[in-house]
Structure 1
Amino acid sequence: MTTLLLVGASGHGRVLADLGETLGFVGIAFVDDRWPEVTDNNGWPVIGATRDVVRLSGQYDAVVVSIGANEPRLALHRRLMEQGVAASTLVHPSAVISSRAEIGVGSVVLANVVVGAFATVGEAAILNTACTVDHDCRLADGVHISPGVHLAGQVHVGERTWIGIGTSVREGAVIGKGVVIGAGAAVVSDIADSVIATGVPARPRQIGGAAT
């Protein structure tokens, strides 16, 4: 593969463009709904809007949604797949992924990530710098595992959940969908859906928009 189309000219997009160069892509471009007002993303061209992805995708060897926020990234990934756009997966060469692990299409695995045996990662997920996902973990679509997060074995993480930088999660913990775990937390018990949880140990601070 030599050409890469990234959907979303964000900071996360710049990280993926840089990764693309590391992987040997030589033609890297963005589409973004701020086009034509925005035509450049730190030196990489912005050549159209998201409505143009289907038309442009045939001209590129790989297409990845590069939006950092979980919900819009997953929604756009699914919409493009339904429209026949084949999403690609980007994996940094320094990542260590077990041959018995599975990484879903449209996901990105950044530098120094470790994914253990029999772990599964869904589609359009972000495994950010130096996070570890131990054996038999189950990560649903659209999750973001931030830099330096450590998931012990058999952890389950629900769809669209964001686990903040430096968090540690106990073996076998179940974290629901749409959850936000604050930076540096220690998750030692299950976390319900749609919760913001912070602290050591992590405790729910907000549920369904209401303070607790």
Structure 2
Amino acid sequence: MKKLMIIGASGHGKVVADIAVKNGYEQIFFLDDNEDVKECAGFPVVGKCILAADNEDDKIVAIGNEKVREKIQKNLKNLVTLIHPNAVISRRVKIGEGSVVMAGAIINSDVVIGKGCIINTGATVDHDCRIGNFSHISVGAHVAGTCEISDRTWVGAGAVVSNNINICEGCLIGAGAVVVKNIEKAGIYVGVPARYLR
């Protein structure tokens, strides 16, 4: 029987659980530090996140905050990568452990996705891109070809990153923003074209 531990019983965890079911997991349970949460997506919450370290089951961290996700994931073994069966993934894509690819996402040829990443619902990553560890390409965001998005960067819902763009680590690209030039300073970027906010 395929068994999966999901760390983080919230909205993101619910979506991850649905993908896990579609990947053949028959027994799913959650860990979460909020003791008031007893179930998520119809599956039980059995304890706090600290219990994950010594557990031998398959596991994935389903927490949206990239810093928390990284902190928890770095101490775990038996991490899996989950890909929704309705995602379209080139045969020449590498995806790191602990990453999740949601329904309707498209990842084209020669892309490297780091560990602990989220490629969210309907997002696209075109050819020859590099997505750094613990980054998030949000719902409906589009990354054009030959881009490099460094670690712990969040590309907001519906944002667009034009081709041949590099974005440094630790950035947040606001929803609907359009990035047309390299970003070399960590921070929040919004607007069309995207500009530094703070």
Q: Shorter-chain TM-score: what band?
A: over 0.9
Aligned to 1:47: 46
User: Where does structure 1 differ by over 2 angstroms across 4 or more consecutive aligned residues?
Assistant: none
Specify which of 79, 90, 97 is matched with residue 75 of structure 2: 79
Please state whether the residue corresponding to 2:75 is helix, strand or coil.
helix
Aligned to 1:133: 125
Aligned to 1:21: 21
| Structure 2 unaligned regions, length at least 5 | none
| Structure 1 unaligned regions, length at least 5 | 207-212
Instruction: Kindly provide the CA deviation profile for residues 42-87 of structure 1, in whole angstroms up to 9, marking residues without a partner as x.
Output: 42101111111123x32x3x2000101111101211122xxxx121
Aligned counterparts of 2:140 and 2:117: Cα–Cα separation in 1: 16
Report matched runs for 1:49-198 at 5 Å: 49-55=48-54, 57-58=55-56, 60=57, 62-80=58-76, 85-198=77-190
Number of aligned residue pairs:
198
After superposition, the CA RMSD in angstroms is 1.2
Please state whether the residue corresponding to 1:79 is helix, strand or coil.
coil
Identity in percent: 41
Letter in 2 for 1:120: V
Aligned counterparts of 1:91 and 1:182: Cα–Cα separation in 2: 25
- Conserved 8 A contact 1:10-1:68: no
Aligned counterparts of 1:22 and 1:67: Cα–Cα separation in 2: 20
Instruction: Kindly provide the CA deviation profile for residues 91-145 of structure 1, in whole angstroms up to 9, marking residues without a partner as x.
Output: 0001111111110010000001111111100000000011111111011100000
Letter in 2 for 1:74: E
Instruction: Check 1:119–1:42 CA distance in 2 against 1; reply closer, same or farther (3 A cut).
Output: closer
Length-normalised TM-score, structure 2: 0.96
Letter in 2 for 1:173: I
Length-normalised TM-score, structure 1: 0.90
Letter in 1 for 2:44: P
Letter in 1 for 2:105: V
